[in-house]
Chains A and B, each alone.
Chain A
Amino acid sequence: MAKHDEKLWGQHTIPYHKIQKFKLADLNLSLYLSEDEIKLAHHYSSSGAQATTRQDSGENVIWKRWPVSGEVSHIQFDPVLPDRPLLVKPESSLYLWVNFKSKFFVRIPIALKISMIIGNKSTELLDIPIIKLSNTWFGTFQKGEVCYSISSGFGADIEPDKSRPFLAICPLRLKNDSRESLLVDKICMRSEHFSLFQSDSQLWTDELTIIYKGKNETSQISVSGKPPKRISGATLVSKPQKILKKSLYAPSFSSQKDLAGPKVFVDK
């Protein structure tokens, strides 16, 4: 029986010699603990019936194993940001006039960091995205990076959603500093620079500011490093993987021209 725990983050006690199951959104997680090793397997519900059958049979599950020395007192679940940038597509076309700045909110999926605790020592086992994310490409055919693809309504305001603890809210400030109006087709959010905060069961990232400088220019990216002003009593739950001291200049917006579809495909 899968455990759907309301207290998702924090320490969990795992019984020895018994498969303990957890269900977090799409993610089905199985943990098995013995004196010699800890085993972990996961699959996503949306991945189809076959995966579920595999899990239930208990024979064909693909386990990952870690040898342990000492008694594992707890398993720790922590929220972390995904290991790749996120390419966010607005659900409807979004235009920014010249010199216009605006604030939006984007819900971003987070990953689960699993650690084991032996005595006072915590050892990280692995990070798994809680929602099955699809890969996409940001850049041109010659140069770019693999990102996770998500879509967002880019709302001007947002309400915390306790029913979906696997989504963090990212306050995003966009400014068009160029001489032309900007159609926001896709935005690359480099989550490795984000901190993660928790306030009243809702996860928040620090504020991200992206300044668009022009079609052939890189955008100026900065993160506040502090919890958003609108939330109170926030605690830091995850530090950025890469600390951004000042600003970063990197491509952040892309247009249809970068990966011109039909022209590429009809080439024979």
Chain B
Amino acid sequence: MDILLGTDFEKYLTQDYLSLVLRILFWIIIGLPLVHITGKWVKKLSLKNFSAQQSMVFHKIILYTGYVIILFSILNIFGLKIATLLGAAGIVGIAVGFASQTSISNIISGWFLIAEKPFEVEDVITVGSTSGVVLSIDMLSIKLRTFDNKYVRIPNETIIKTEVVNITRFPIRRVDLEIGVAYKENISHVKEVLTCIAKDDPLCLNEPEPSILFARFGNSALEFNFRVWAVKDDWLTLRNSIMEEIKKRFDEEGIEIPFPHVSLYSGSVSKPFPISITNQESP
């Protein structure tokens, strides 16, 4: 107790020392929350006039600028000159740069992603085998929410090097269906029924026009490519509703959707496969 209250402790209770501590606390207690509040306020305000992607960029700019200001202010309180710091940062930067090439590569890739804009926050993208909604484009990585609600982090460098499919970039999307009908069916009738199905579905756009292409003589069926267009938000609903409707209407019209089958013939088509039973002598 005597040690604590001794002269060593008392020498820290000077006015200069208390002022230094108070100034540091000011930057931490007031400065940091202020930066966060300002960032959130700017994000909220910019969402009214800008896209989610742009407001995220504004938010990050405010945050990082704020952090840098707070850091330099605190270092300044300790008497460190900014010019000296920047000089030292150059030397340290080279050393750190060599040690963290991947991170630097990710940061630079992140800048390219923001400048090139292959996708934005809230777009649905596919990277390799992962599909999901873009949650954020950060300094080192992008974050996705997959459709089964998983959180996926993909490094920016990977995005730059990989093929990225932006599913929701354009306002309309095509639903591609492959439909097989039995060989006995009338092709014109099938096309007529499919045209009616497209016409009756309110989610199916009249233009671009639906198309029905007779694709090929398949192994078990006459195969058609049925392609209809929908607004991107209705794509999945249309895909589901139109498939249900095809089954229903084909059943009503007596159009057979064949399952894969193989016919075996021996010699002539008209004769049955010859099977003969021979009596075996018991041993």
Query: Contact residues of A with B, CB < 8 Å?
Result: 46-47, 87, 132, 134-139, 141-144, 146, 149, 259, 261-262, 264-266, 268
Contacts and interface: CB of A to CB of B under 8 A. Distances in A.
B231 A134 contact: no
Contacts of A149: 206-207
Contacts, number: 52
Contacts of A135: 202-206, 231
Interface of B: 170-172, 199-200, 202-209, 211, 213, 225, 227, 229, 231
B148 to A, nearest CB: 29
B211 A261 contact: yes
Contacts of B231: 135, 137, 146
B202 A137 contact: no
A265 B211 contact: yes
A134 B196 CA distance: 12
A255 to B, nearest CB: 12
Nearest to B199: A134
A266 B207 contact: no
Given A146-B231, A266-B213, A136 B207 contact: yes
B202 A132 contact: yes
A141 B169 CA distance: 10
A25 B171 CA distance: 32
Nearest to A268: B225
Most-contacted residue by chain B among A46, A47, A136, A138 (CB, 10 A): A136
Nearest to B234: A135
Contacts of B170: 141-142
A153 B172 CA distance: 29
Please name the 4 residue pairs, one residue from A and one from B, whose CB atoms are nearest each other, closest first: A136-B206, A265-B211, A149-B206, A259-B208
Nearest to B233: A146
A134 B227 contact: no
A132 B203 CA distance: 12
B207 A137 contact: yes
Contacts of A47: 200
Nearest to B198: A134
A134 B206 contact: yes
A136 B171 CA distance: 12
A136 B207 CA distance: 5
A140 B7 CA distance: 82
A252 B223 CA distance: 39
B212 to A, nearest CB: 9
A137 to B, nearest CB: 5
A211 to B, nearest CB: 24
Contacts of A143: 171
A101 B170 CA distance: 36
Given A137-B229, A143-B171, A146-B231, A261 B205 contact: no
A137 B211 contact: no
Contacts of A141: 170, 172, 208
Nearest to B231: A146
A132 B202 CA distance: 8
A266 B212 CA distance: 10
B172 A136 contact: no
Contacts of A146: 205, 231
A47 B208 CA distance: 23
A259 B171 contact: no
Contact of A265 (B171, B206, B227): B227
Contacts of B211: 261-262, 265
B52 to A, nearest CB: 19
Contacts of A87: 207
Most-contacted residue by chain A among B170, B205, B225, B231 (CB, 10 A): B205
Nearest to A48: B200
28 contacts: A46-B200, A47-B200, A132-B202, A134-B204, A135-B202, A135-B203, A135-B205, A135-B231, A137-B172, A137-B205, A137-B207, A137-B229, A137-B231, A139-B171, A141-B172, A142-B170, A142-B171, A143-B171, A144-B171, A144-B172, A146-B231, A149-B207, A261-B211, A265-B211, A265-B213, A265-B227, A266-B213, A268-B225
B209 A261 contact: yes
A259 B202 contact: no
Most-contacted residue by chain B among A134, A141, A146, A261 (CB, 10 A): A134
A189 to B, nearest CB: 16
